[in-house]
Amino acid sequence: MVRESTPIVFEEPGPTRRFVVIGSRAKSSAAFKLHALWDSGGRMDILVRCIRAALLVSGGVRRNTLLDLLLLGPGEAPLALRLDGRSIRGLRPDEYRNARLLQHALGARHPGAGPEMVAAGIQAAPMDLEALAREPRGNLFVLGREGIDMRSVCWQGDATFVLGDDRGIDPDHAKVLERCGAVTVSLGPVDLHTEDAITIVHNELDRTS
């Protein structure tokens, strides 16, 4: 007897989920080595892993998700790269290929230009954290160990989640987020890697949507 396998179809929830990841020293230019993202890219490896966590599921892309990578390292900082799950192309599960995609996108940017599409589903714009936080993308949250338990929040509508890299969120950025009305939510008592925190947020929302 041959058992037919049932394909897993990824359903796309309505509300938009947006993640803003602060790359405190990530290169804001294409001048980094793909085999040394942690060094020459200013810990660009963290941001690349966030791409997989935020936008990819097994066999597909989360079409309801935006990922804003805020690059604050050498180049044209502050520079925000927005990856849009609705239209992005060429994402892969492996770090090297996604790093190459980012490098090509940064290399396609015109120096001094305003917001521009630099690849399919990727926009580059000279924006700082406050500009990103003030965009009308639903409720604004920052992830922190001392915040409200995420499982006690009633999730309705669009939501934006702000995370730091391995250095966390510095006091100046924390003040910006407070000024913008961000609410701190906690995923638990243990500090997590940025990409793991994104995965857990998705999982919590998947279960409640």
pLDDT at 21 over 60: yes
User: Is the CB of residue 183 less than 8 Å from the CB of residue 141?
Assistant: yes
Per-residue pLDDT tens over the stretch 114-137: 999 999 999 999 999 999 999 988
d(CA 169, CA 16): 23
Please indicate, yes or no, if residue 28 is contained in any of the structural domains. Answer: yes
Q: What is the DSSP string of 4-40?
A: PPPPPP----SS-EEEEEEETT--BSS-S-TT-TTTT
pLDDT at 3 over 50: no
Domain count for the chain, please give it. 1
Could you give the angle at the alpha carbon of 110 between the alpha carbons of 26 and 23, nearest 5°? 15
> What residues make up the domain containing 102?
17-208
Please indicate, yes or no, if residue 12 is contained in any of the structural domains. Answer: no
d(CA 72, CA 155): 31
Please indicate, yes or no, if residue 1 is contained in any of the structural domains. Answer: no
Please indicate, yes or no, if residue 7 is contained in any of the structural domains. Answer: no
Please indicate, yes or no, if residue 102 is contained in any of the structural domains. Answer: yes
- CATH at residue 168: 3.40.1280.10
Per-residue pLDDT tens over the stretch 198-207: 999 999 999 9
The residues that bridge with 185 in the sheet, in sequence order, are 148
d(CA 81, CA 20): 10
Amino acid symbol at 96: Y
Per-residue pLDDT tens over the stretch 70-124: 999 999 999 999 999 999 999 999 999 999 999 999 999 998 889 999 999 999 9
Q: Which tokens go with 70?
A: 């805020």
Please indicate, yes or no, if residue 142 is contained in any of the structural domains. Answer: yes
Please indicate, yes or no, if residue 6 is contained in any of the structural domains. Answer: no
Neighbours of 202 (CB within 10 A): 19
3-class secondary-structure state, position 100: helix
Please indicate, yes or no, if residue 199 is contained in any of the structural domains. Answer: yes
